[in-house]
Amino acid sequence: MTRAAIALASLACIGASKPVLVPDVSDRQVQIIYSFTGADLLLFGAILYPQGRAPDHPADIAVVLKGPTQSVVVREKQKVAGMWINADSERFRSAPAFYAIASSRPLAALIDQRTAAIYELGLDSLQMSPASGSPPDEQARFVDGLVDLKRRAGLYVQDARGVAISDGVLYRAHIAIPARVPVGRYIAETFLIQDGRVVAGAVREVDIGKSGFERFVTLAANRWPVTYGLAAVAISLLIGWGAGLLFRRN
């Protein structure tokens, strides 16, 4: 269980004296087919305040969509004698393959760095779990490099004004899912933030998977790797042979 999940569980045990979030997502199963160019996921819900009374000072919302975690090796290239070669590297045990966060206001205006680290709110607060004993400054350098690579690929996103709150009780946020998103189980987390503290939280699950021919290919590669490899080679040879015949006739 992640630190954020533990914190959310403790919030749920506080009781009805605290606000309660009722979240949902527009699609809990996103199917990837050959023509998939991305999707737009809507995270929405309501804030239930004790006795139905909203506070005079309105609360803020942050929503996070992340997953699945994976082990990642980041390599740093250096130019030696006119050639680029791999130099230092760092392995991270639990980097999220996709991470998107949207909030009603910039996170720096809502919470301090300690709270952000506890709930992993923001790209600067992700817990990557470095596997080596390298110095902290070197680990931070590789974390920054990994985040930058993921951001440029559209897999790490942070939107400081991505949550809209209506009448102080209804909220909604759009998360763009890129075409290159990895398949797996994702976690959609919603946090209610007031006076610098997370006062309520809720979690929903989203499954992103392949369907149709793409699903068949993925299952075949995972369940029968040897047969899949031989079939791929045979098909490639057949296509090459057919192309050779076609060009000779022309």
pLDDT at 104 over 50: yes
> pLDDT exceeding 70 applies to what percent of the chain?
74
Q: Of 128 and 60, which is predicted with more confidence?
A: 60
Query: pLDDT-based confidence at 13, cuts 50/70/90?
Result: very low
Q: How many CB atoms lie within 10 A of CB 73?
A: 11
pLDDT of residue 14: 47
Query: What is the value of pTM for the model shown?
Result: 0.76
Q: What domains can be seen in the chain, in order of their start residue?
A: 3-211 (2.60.40.1930), 212-250 (no CATH)
H-type helices in 16-135, by residue range? 113-119
DSSP string, 132-193: S---HHHHHHHHHHHHHHHHHTTSEEEETT-EEEETTTEEEEEEEE-TTPPPEEEEEEEEEE
CA 136 to chain centre: 24
Q: How many CB atoms lie within 10 A of CB 110?
A: 25
